């Protein structure tokens, strides 16, 4: 009887060991496979036009573009200083001396730099797609794909999609879940404007139209960075 119990225990130990090994292998393969799958997906997205993502502009519930009197050119503030912007999300204004990295197109709340860094990017010709941090994941995924897709040539690659907490500025109107922003160079009258357009739904089509209206070259410092 004792020998049988020992044999049963040994068999049980072997099964448990095999199960642990198999599970470890599966987990290991998943860890290895995920970056590879993500890389393949990103490579595919890179060759797609941003208009492939989201709804048509006519279905995106976009408001007319607003033109905000721009301020803050070359007005660099110390890191950590909280800047209260006159519009939400900001389309111009004082900012930190360092801009967000030029090669990163998409941010989540876990890695987004301060708003004050991103406003500096606006000064250098960027269009920023600000999105509510409370958007459902499937819509945020669409925005990430837009950020990694083939952008119009007029952007010169200067685009960022970043989340925006409603507590960071004046709350947006109900139903408006994302906003495009661009900071234009002074016109013939030496007046400069920040431009914003709010939309209810994700639309690569609406974004493309906005960026073509306000290209990267139309900037306070188009050659900066």
Instruction: Return phi, psi of residue 178, to 5°.
Output: -150, 160
Alpha carbons 168 and 130: distance in angstroms, whole number: 12
DSSP 57: G
Q: What is the model's pLDDT at position 118?
A: 98
Q: What is the model's pLDDT at position 203?
A: 98
Alpha carbons 158 and 154: distance in angstroms, whole number: 9
Alpha carbons 28 and 20: distance in angstroms, whole number: 12
User: Domain ranges in the chain?
Assistant: 1-47, 50-213
Kindly tell me the burial class for residue 91, based on how many C-beta atoms sit within 10 Å of its own C-beta (0-12, 13-18, 19 or more).
Answer: buried
CB proximity list for 49: less than 8 A, separation 6 or greater: 149, 150, 204
Q: What is the model's pLDDT at position 2?
A: 64
DSSP 72: -
Q: What is the model's pLDDT at position 159?
A: 97
CB proximity list for 144: less than 8 A, separation 6 or greater: 106, 161
Are 202 and 60 contacting, i.e. CB atoms less than 8 angstroms apart? yes
Instruction: Return phi, psi of residue 155, to 5°.
Output: -80, -20
Intervals of the chain under pLDDT 50: 33-34, 36-41
Q: Is the pTM of this model over 0.85?
A: no
| Cα three-residue angle 187-218-163, rounded to 5 degrees | 120
Alpha carbons 13 and 177: distance in angstroms, whole number: 55
Q: What is the model's pLDDT at position 4?
A: 59
Bridge-based pairing of strands 193-199 and 95-96 is unpaired
Instruction: Return phi, psi of residue 89, to 5°.
Output: -75, 165
């Amino acid at each position: 009887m004792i020998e049988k119990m020992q044999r049963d225990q040994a068999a049980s130990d072997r099964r448990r060991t095999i199960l642990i090994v198999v599970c470890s292998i599966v987990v290991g393969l998943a860890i290895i496979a995920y970056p590879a799958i993500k890389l393949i997906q990103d490579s595919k997205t890179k060759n797609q036009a941003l208009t492939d993502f989201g709804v048509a502009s006519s279905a995106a519930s976009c408001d007319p573009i607003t033109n905000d009197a721009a301020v803050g050119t070359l007005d660099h503030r110390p890191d950590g200083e909280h800047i209260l912007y006159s519009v939400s999300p900001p389309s111009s204004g004082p900012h930190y001396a360092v801009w967000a990295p030029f090669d990163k197109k998409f941010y989540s709340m876990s890695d987004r730099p301060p708003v004050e860094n991103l406003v500096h990017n606006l000064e250098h010709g960027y269009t920023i797609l600000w999105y509510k941090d409370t958007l459902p994941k499937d819509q945020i995924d669409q925005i990430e794909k837009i950020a990694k897709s083939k952008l119009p040539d007029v952007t010169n690659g200067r685009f960022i999609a970043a989340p925006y907490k409603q507590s960071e500025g004046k709350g947006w109107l109900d139903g408006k879940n994302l906003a495009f922003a661009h900071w234009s160079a002074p016109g013939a009258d030496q007046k400069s404007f920040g431009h914003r357009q709010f939309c209810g739904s994700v639309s690569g089509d609406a974004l493309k139209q906005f960026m073509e209206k306000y290209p990267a070259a139309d900037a306070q410092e188009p050659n900066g960075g």
